[in-house]
């Protein structure tokens, strides 16, 4: 039952937001009493924490698997973007921004974990791109890695990028292009243009 609660809660939080989903909503969706949820989770905050970390582990594992394939670095970034979008349901409710607003302690823990995973992944991606002659060898990889992480957080800020104007998919596509055009050499730009054309078709 605990796993069912986590699964259903994750789905509801992603689609409707952490703020609007109540324990009653989760119980109703599962066809159980609220008391049953409280057997496994003492309060909503604990449930939010567990579901957040559960989703983080799934996404981190998926990213690790994509990175292990040792693909072309540009293709790798697009594969990661596609995988994350599939698991975050296009972030209709901007869960990360809501988490920051209503559950700041959980957000801070998640942010640190995300940074550790992304730092390793992006740094490795940049190093391989330089070795393969796709990225400029003059870039400061540590600087780019940190800018990349911070920019990924920034585009999830719905005050800056309202979901009525920008879908998360559109934001990620635009940011990936922006990021890659800043670091690619001519050969990398050719590959990037192929992905952009493919996405538009």
Whole-model pTM above 0.95?
no
Any domain includes 19: no
CA 188 to CA 87: how far, in whole Å?
A: 28
What's the structural domain count of the chain? 1
Q: Which residue, among 86, 79, 73, 49, has the nearest Cα to 185 in the 3D structure? A: 73
Give the containing element (helix H, strand E) for 45.
helix 44-68
Assign residue 176 the CATH number of its domain.
1.10.357.10
Domain region containing 134? 44-200
pLDDT tens, residue order, the chain (201 aa) = 999 999 999 999 988 888 889 999 999 999 999 999 999 999 999 999 999 999 999 999 999 999 888 889 999 999 998 998 887 765 555 777 788 889 999 999 999 999 999 999 999 999 999 999 999 999 999 999 999 999 998 988 888 988 889 888 889 999 999 999 999 999 999 999 998 888 765
Q: Which residue has the tokens 């911070």?
A: 150
């Amino acid at each position: 039952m605990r796993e069912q609660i986590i699964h259903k809660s994750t789905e509801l939080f992603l689609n409707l937001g952490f703020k609007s989903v109540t324990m009653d909503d989760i119980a109703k969706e599962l066809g159980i009493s609220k008391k049953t949820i409280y057997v496994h989770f003492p309060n909503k905050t604990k449930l939010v924490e567990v579901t957040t970390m559960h989703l983080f582990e799934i996404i981190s594992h998926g990213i690790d698997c994509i990175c292990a394939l040792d693909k072309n670095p540009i293709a790798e970034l697009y594969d990661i973007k596609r995988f994350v979008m599939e698991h975050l349901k296009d972030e209709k409710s901007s869960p990360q921004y809501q988490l920051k607003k209503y559950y700041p302690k959980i957000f801070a823990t998640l942010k640190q974990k995300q940074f550790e995973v992304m730092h390793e992944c992006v740094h490795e991606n940049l190093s391989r791109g330089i070795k393969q002659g796709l990225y400029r060898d003059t870039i400061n990889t540590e600087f780019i890695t940190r800018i990349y992480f911070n920019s990924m957080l920034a585009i999830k800020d719905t005050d800056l990028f309202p979901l009525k104007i920008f879908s998360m998919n559109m934001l990620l596509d635009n940011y990936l292009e922006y990021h890659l055009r800043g670091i690619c050499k001519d050969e990398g730009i050719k590959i990037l243009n192929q992905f952009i054309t493919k996405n538009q078709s």
